[in-house]
Structure 1
Amino acid sequence: MSDTITFQEEIIRSGAVRKLLAIARIVIGLFFLWPFLDKLLGLGFATPVGKGWFAGAAPAQGFISRIENPLGAVLKPIFGNPFGDFLFMFGLLGIGVAMIFGAGLRIAAWGGTILVALMWLSELPFAQTAMVNGQLVRGATNPFLDDHWLEALILLLCAYGLAGDIWGVGKMWARITNGNKWLR
């Protein structure tokens, strides 16, 4: 092991924990890559069939247009345009690919944390109940915490736990970047 490059085994002794972090890294990577593919191609999940970015749809605009809190006045002018769509799609792709392959985890983790934090802020205040198709549906179960917090924590744990070193290209990437913590 190099004097300037830290590898995962040096900071996390348990092999089981290292493998769990690698699994979490791959799962969170797929979690971000899937919406990219769905919004790009219109696969019929969150994006209707044939209504993807390739078909001329604006992938971020559905979410942006539904923001009804004061943050919407800030986010809509910045992201409610083709630049916002590109930034959103680039972010989903970059975070997903970085996490799946295990390189550039710190940049991807902080980028993903900013993305999910903005999404969390744009959904405040959380609805406790809402009418959906004439039925009363229970909304948020916690007035402050939701899955966005978990996504951010998993991203950051994977980055700072050097999760790319197992079942990824993290060790090779560390050597290429000479152990640069932000590129790692």
Structure 2
Amino acid sequence: MTAMIERPTAPATAPAVAQPTGETTRQQATRYTWAVVRIALGWTFLWAFLDKTFGLGRGTETEAAWINGGHPTEGFLLHGATGPFTDFYHNIAGAAWADWLFMIGLAGIGVALLLGIGLRVAAATGALLYVLMWTVVLPPENNPFMDEHLINAAVLVGLALVGAGHTLGLGRTWARLPLVQRWGWLK
């Protein structure tokens, strides 16, 4: 009697299933979620600019509008400032340079986030603005140190890191501009 050894001619594992080359549903949902968050934050910045400029009655009355001689920084810095920086903020409340910087910041950050362009710059300046606003209200009313200003600052950084301007925005087109390709920090 001879022993027969049976040798398989094909691998014993199941054949590989080809994976789709596109993104998964989860990846697509993540992209769109970040895009919606970007647009929502952009709208909060742009709305603050519009309301403070024209006194649309939500946070700023018509009489206090910037176009009517009001000072966009005055109310928050005079009446909202608490804690260790109170004197500093009271001293700059309503100063023309502070009003201009604040309003340019609100408009620029808002437009950049809504369009999905310049997210690195918008995230850095927006995060700085949020942290400065956080220092106005120290300590926060409902927590020893954490409030929505710090959370929104972190979210802005996240938006830039994930390239949230590419979905529902002009981020890809912006990134192809020669100026942006030359200076990557403009992305």
Q: TM exceeds 0.5? A: yes
CA contact (8 A) 2:120 2:160 kept: yes
Q: CA offsets, 1:126-169, max 9 Å, x none?
A: 34xxxxxxxxxxxx1x2211111221122111111100111111
Q: Structure 1: where are the runs of 5+ without partners?
A: 1-8, 128-139
SS of residue in 1 equivalent to 2:62? coil
Q: 2:50 aligns with which of 22, 37, 43?
A: 37
Cα distance in 2 between the residues matched to 1:178 and 1:112: 22
What one-letter code is carried by the residue in structure 1 that aligns with 2:184? K
What is the aligned partner in structure 1 of residue 39 from structure 2?
26
- TM-score with structure 1 length normalisation? 0.81
Cα distance in 1 between the residues matched to 2:114 and 2:44: 10
CA contact (8 A) 1:28 1:154 kept: no
Instruction: Give the drift of 1:49.
Output: 2.6
CA contact (8 A) 2:63 2:70 kept: no
What is the aligned partner in structure 1 of residue 120 from structure 2?
106
CA contact (8 A) 2:49 2:107 kept: yes
Larger Rg: 2
CA contact (8 A) 1:38 1:46 kept: yes
1:11-160 alignment runs, 5 A limit: 14-66=27-79, 67-78=81-92, 80-127=94-141, 140=142, 142-160=143-161
Instruction: Give the drift of 1:50.
Output: 3.6
Q: Structure 2: where are the runs of 5+ without partners?
A: 1-21
- TM-score with structure 2 length normalisation? 0.79
How many residues are matched? Answer: 161
Cα distance in 2 between the residues matched to 1:75 and 1:110: 21
Task: Please state which structure has a larger fraction of its residues in strand.
Answer: 1
Runs of 4+ in 1 over 2 A off after TM superposition: 72-80
Identity of aligned residues (%): 42
CA contact (8 A) 2:43 2:110 kept: yes
What is the aligned partner in structure 1 of residue 165 from structure 2?
164
CA contact (8 A) 2:119 2:165 kept: yes
SS of residue in 1 equivalent to 2:60? coil
